[in-house]
Amino acid sequence: MTTTATAPAPNPALVSDEARIDFWARQAGRLDWSTPWHTTHRWQPPTAVGTEPDGTVRWSVPEIGWFEGGTLNVAYNCVDRHVEAGRGDHVALYVEGEPGDRRTYTYAELQREVARAANALLSLGVEAGDRVVIYLPVIPETVIATLACARIGAVHSLVFGGFSAEALRFRVEDTGAKVLVTTDGQFRRGAAVPVKAAADEAVSGDNAIEHVLVVRRTGETDIPWTPGRDLWWHDVLAGQSDVHVPQPFDAEAPLFIIYTSGTTGRPKGLVHTMGGYLVQAAYTHALLFDLLPETTGDDGVARPDELAAVNDPVKVDRTVHWCTADLAWVTAHTYEIYGPLANGVSEVLYEGTPTTPHPGRHFEIIERYGVTTYYTAPTLVRSLMAAFFDGVPATYDLSSVRLLGSVGEAINPEAWRWLRAQVGAGTAPVVDTWWQSETGATILSPRPGDAQFDDGAAPKPGCATRPVPGVSVRVVDEHGAAVAPGEHGLAVVDKIGPSMARTVWGDPQRYLDSYWRAFAAQGWFLAGDGAKVDADGDIWILGRVDDVINVSGHRLSTIEIESALVAHPWVVEAGVAPTADARTGHAITAFVVLHDGVPLTDVAPALRAHVSREIGPIAKPAHVVIVPDLPKTRSGKIMRRLLTQLFEGTELGDTTSLQNAPAIPAIAAAVTSWKDNS
């Protein structure tokens, strides 16, 4: 096997460490700093410091610093400075509630609301460094509370509003939060659902919570209340001034703790810091969502200037960004809260489920606000495809859409093509952004100006292509050698950017063990995803390493098999997981959700033959189980390890991240009846 490196060519301007660090220093100029930094970047890689009892090397935990010595206020950078620049009347947020209530916040209004919330938190004794857990749906108060924390230097941790009391309790206790912000209830699929009781349950144990702030959203009357501890958000804010002078904080002070979605196990609380995170969030938002000025290349074609450290004001003004992720997910932190607001664009916040009260709700919202950049997840695209298989009705005007984005999982090429054809008029670029809670911002993605999106060019659906400027990625084998084109390898980030998580909250050892130990000698970050490099040097993400199936020594990627299945006209969604097989090691087991009306006889042989044709006989699923739903995390990722456990009948591992727990018994029943019949 050859070990020729075919990693994508880095931007020539950024090859040396010096050029890369200088690039980030220039990008940091996007922000307003109160004090300039003295050290752009400090990197202390893992170092061998002794021997573990089992004889292996003991490594030190790596240390990362960016813009040390510098101070800034993150909320000021996301709100106030736009007002000071005369853009106070520009719309920051177009808010739409699930029941249809609407409200607009200009940057000036947002500034006043954030100031009042900051004063309110201060009045409750919240100080810089204290933790605040925010357990809210996608409503403006969530953004306001988040920015208020940032403004006073409190560390926020957002928890998905659909999570159980148990999942919330873990995060309240792990962060040691002093304040919990929650709601009376939330709107979900057309109904008002109580929330406060779950919040109460989560804070009932031993924890540091002093106050529970309650936003009135659904107007539930009979909600449980603990006098003294519980306070209405509107009461606490009512008495506060709408002026607050922001204080600067160290670039390396913690901004937030984000828990991974927990697809592979107990969630990890990644810590992101103020300066580096905001720099990379703002830059990558501008790069990927087309805010950078254009420059004409040698070929005479004008394309965005990737290295520009200022935005094109015309592009900023015309942008109406919509990231559909829940605010508690890292995607929303970076591309719904911090990135877009740091860049001063308008954006949409939509509270509800995409299918309430009808499956075209998203199209209605795109039309109403003239959304220009629509950033969503593969699971959502697949559900839109299921509802609008024959195309989006012409009654919706989607002509404002200029750019599409996908994140969360590798997107099935079929879903990519549907999205581009139906929502992007067949011409919009699709940024398929690969990144993680750990990296804080996008690492791999095509760019809006890429030639693959030109008229008549051959696009690459499902390909994350290449690193953004200022970071670098390799695809290597377990010894760190570059893999040959087309071979499966591991994605590692060998040169990190400023938004890399600094540690795991309260557990630096886990930070070392999970991410740095595997390539400690090289100082590379192990992403945990499999990848391959194609003949052009473009990178394809193949899903989690844990999801790779080994059949008689052949390594197969679950996502490739799922994409083949989803390309079949009967299949809405597919989850493929390895199940134990005495003969082949792993048996490929496919769980499929079918379109309504598909006759249920002979599905398995047809789908097995289809995968065999699309990929090859080796990838043919041994078992095909028809299920009503797939287990998914809150961010819509398929939890393949649960599929394995459900099939093998073993105990389910950590399920706190599960979004659709009620679907599990039905999936289990489908497995049982499949076993009874085979």
Amino acid at 226: T
Q: Cβ closer to Mg ion: 74 or 330?
A: 330
**By CB under 6 A, is residue 336 in contact with ligand ATP?**
no
Question: Residue 510 Cβ, how far from ligand ATP at the closest point, in Å?
Answer: 11
**By CB under 6 A, is residue 408 in contact with ligand ATP?**
yes
Q: Cβ closer to ligand ATP: 217 or 466?
A: 466
- How do the residues of the chain divide into helix, strand and coil, expressed in percent and rounded to 5? 30, 25, 45
**By CB under 6 A, is residue 436 in contact with ligand ATP?**
yes
Tell me which of ligand ATP, Mg ion, none is bound by residue 346, counting a contact when its beta carbon lies within the kind-specific cut-off of 5 to 8 angstroms: none
Structure tokens at 138: 């996608």
Q: Cβ closer to Mg ion: 145 or 328?
A: 328
Which one among 113, 306, 432, 573 touches ligand ATP, defined by CB under 6 A?
Answer: 432
Query: SS3 for 106?
Result: strand
CA distances from 351 to 305, 369, 405, 440, 515 (A): 35, 15, 20, 23, 34
**By CB under 6 A, is residue 407 in contact with ligand ATP?**
yes
Angle subtended at Cα 340 by Cα 336 and Cα 342, rounded to the nearest 5 degrees:
125
Question: Residue 210 Cβ, how far from ligand ATP at the closest point, in Å?
Answer: 29
Structure tokens at 122: 């201060």
Q: Cβ closer to ligand ATP: 218 or 657?
A: 657
Number of residues that bind Mg ion (CB under 5 A): 1
The interface region with ligand ATP, picked from 198-206, 301-309, 414-422, 428-436 by CB under 6 A, is 428-436
**By CB under 6 A, is residue 73 in contact with ligand ATP?**
no
Q: Cβ closer to ligand ATP: 383 or 437?
A: 437
CA distances from 40 to 19, 33, 229, 255, 273 (A): 12, 13, 43, 18, 14
Please report, to the nearest 10 degrees, the dihedral formed by the alpha carbons of residues 80, 84, 85, 90 taken in order.
60
**By CB under 6 A, is residue 376 in contact with ligand ATP?**
no
CB 194 within 8 A of CB 188: no
Structure tokens at 571: 């299949």
**By CB under 6 A, is residue 326 in contact with ligand ATP?**
no
DSSP symbols for 575-633: EEEEEEETTTEEEEEEEEEEPTT---TTHHHHHHHHHHHHT-GGG--SEEEE-S---BB
Number of residues that bind ligand ATP (CB under 6 A): 26
Question: Residue 439 Cβ, how far from Mg ion at the closest point, in Å?
Answer: 10
Q: Cβ closer to Mg ion: 71 or 260?
A: 260
Q: How many CB atoms lie within 10 A of CB 628?
A: 11
Which one among 410, 587, 626, 642 touches ligand ATP, defined by CB under 6 A?
Answer: 410
Which one among 111, 157, 207, 260 touches ligand ATP, defined by CB under 6 A?
Answer: 260
Q: How many CB atoms lie within 10 A of CB 596?
A: 6
Q: Cβ closer to ligand ATP: 212 or 337?
A: 337
Local structure of residue 165 (DSSP, 8 states)? H
- Cα separation, 213 vs 137, whole angstroms: 14
Local structure of residue 546 (DSSP, 8 states)? G
Which of the residues 487 through 506 are near ligand ATP (CB under 6 A)? Answer: none
- Cα separation, 308 vs 267, whole angstroms: 36
**By CB under 6 A, is residue 273 in contact with ligand ATP?**
no
**By CB under 6 A, is residue 563 in contact with ligand ATP?**
no
Question: Residue 259 Cβ, how far from ligand ATP at the closest point, in Å?
Answer: 8
**By CB under 6 A, is residue 434 in contact with ligand ATP?**
yes
Which one among 98, 409, 450, 573 touches ligand ATP, defined by CB under 6 A?
Answer: 409
**By CB under 6 A, is residue 575 in contact with ligand ATP?**
no
Give the ranges where 409-538 is alpha helix by DSSP (H).
Answer: 413-422, 508-511
Query: SS3 for 573?
Result: strand
Question: Residue 567 Cβ, how far from ligand ATP at the closest point, in Å?
Answer: 17
**By CB under 6 A, is residue 526 in contact with ligand ATP?**
no
Scored b (16 or more CB within 10 A) or e, 59-76 reads bbbbebbbbbebbbbbbb
Question: Residue 342 Cβ, how far from Mg ion at the closest point, in Å?
Answer: 25
* Nearest residue to 278 via CA among 469, 39, 62, 73: 73
- Cα separation, 414 vs 419, whole angstroms: 9
Which of the residues 605 through 634 are near Mg ion (CB under 5 A)? Answer: none
Q: Cβ closer to ligand ATP: 264 or 645?
A: 264
Q: Cβ closer to ligand ATP: 185 or 528?
A: 528
Structure tokens at 313: 């004001």
**By CB under 6 A, is residue 71 in contact with ligand ATP?**
no
Terminal-residue alpha carbon distance, the chain: 41
CB 629 within 8 A of CB 662: no
Tell me which of ligand ATP, Mg ion, none is bound by residue 529, counting a contact when its beta carbon lies within the kind-specific cut-off of 5 to 8 angstroms: ligand ATP
- Cα separation, 320 vs 316, whole angstroms: 9
Residues paired with residue 392 on neighbouring β-strands, in sequence order: none
**By CB under 6 A, is residue 262 in contact with ligand ATP?**
yes
Residues paired with residue 540 on neighbouring β-strands, in sequence order: 532
Angle subtended at Cα 270 by Cα 266 and Cα 276, rounded to the nearest 5 degrees:
165
Question: Residue 662 Cβ, how far from ligand ATP at the closest point, in Å?
Answer: 21
The interface region with Mg ion, picked from 113-121, 252-260, 381-389, 466-474 by CB under 5 A, is 252-260
Q: Cβ closer to ligand ATP: 106 or 264?
A: 264
Local structure of residue 640 (DSSP, 8 states)? H
**By CB under 6 A, is residue 333 in contact with ligand ATP?**
no
Q: Cβ closer to ligand ATP: 336 or 432?
A: 432
Question: Residue 529 Cβ, how far from Mg ion at the closest point, in Å?
Answer: 8
Determine the number of helices (DSSP H) and then strands (DSSP E) in the chain.
20, 34
**By CB under 6 A, is residue 14 in contact with ligand ATP?**
no
**By CB under 6 A, is residue 635 in contact with ligand ATP?**
yes
The interface region with ligand ATP, picked from 36-44, 524-532, 581-589, 599-607 by CB under 6 A, is 524-532
Which of the residues 154 through 183 are near ligand ATP (CB under 6 A)? Answer: none
**By CB under 6 A, is residue 529 in contact with ligand ATP?**
yes
Amino acid at 183: T
The interface region with Mg ion, picked from 239-247, 257-265, 304-312, 445-453 by CB under 5 A, is 257-265
Query: SS3 for 383?
Result: helix
Would you tell me which residues interact with ligand ATP (CB under 6 A)? 260-264, 267, 330, 406-410, 432-434, 436-437, 464, 527-529, 541, 544, 633, 635, 637
Would you tell me which residues interact with Mg ion (CB under 5 A)? 260
